Amino acid sequence: VILLDMDQPVEALPHAQAAVQLDPADAFGRFLLGAALTGTGRNAEAAEELRRAIERNSSMTEARDLLRAIEQR
């Protein structure tokens, strides 16, 4: 989270991937992975992870907002 807040998505990506690997059902981990992927320009993969986050937690507005922004590009 700190690396994403510091606008360092490349550095955040392996940490987010590890979080998802440790707990694939965790919506927040999926959201973080989607955010990191977005920051590295991998929007198709990001959208997929954000959809997975929303499936696991339908009230996750951050994931919905980021997915909407990707889809509008």
Q: How many residues does the chain have?
A: 73
pTM confidence score:
0.90
Task: Classify residue 59 by its DSSP letter.
Answer: T
pLDDT in tens, the chain (73 residues): 555 665 788 989 999 999 999 999 999 999 999 999 999 999 999 999 999 999 999 999 999 999 999 999 8
Which of 14, 71, 66, 12 is closest to 44 using CA atoms?
71
CB 49 within 8 A of CB 34: yes
- What SS3 state is found at 57? coil
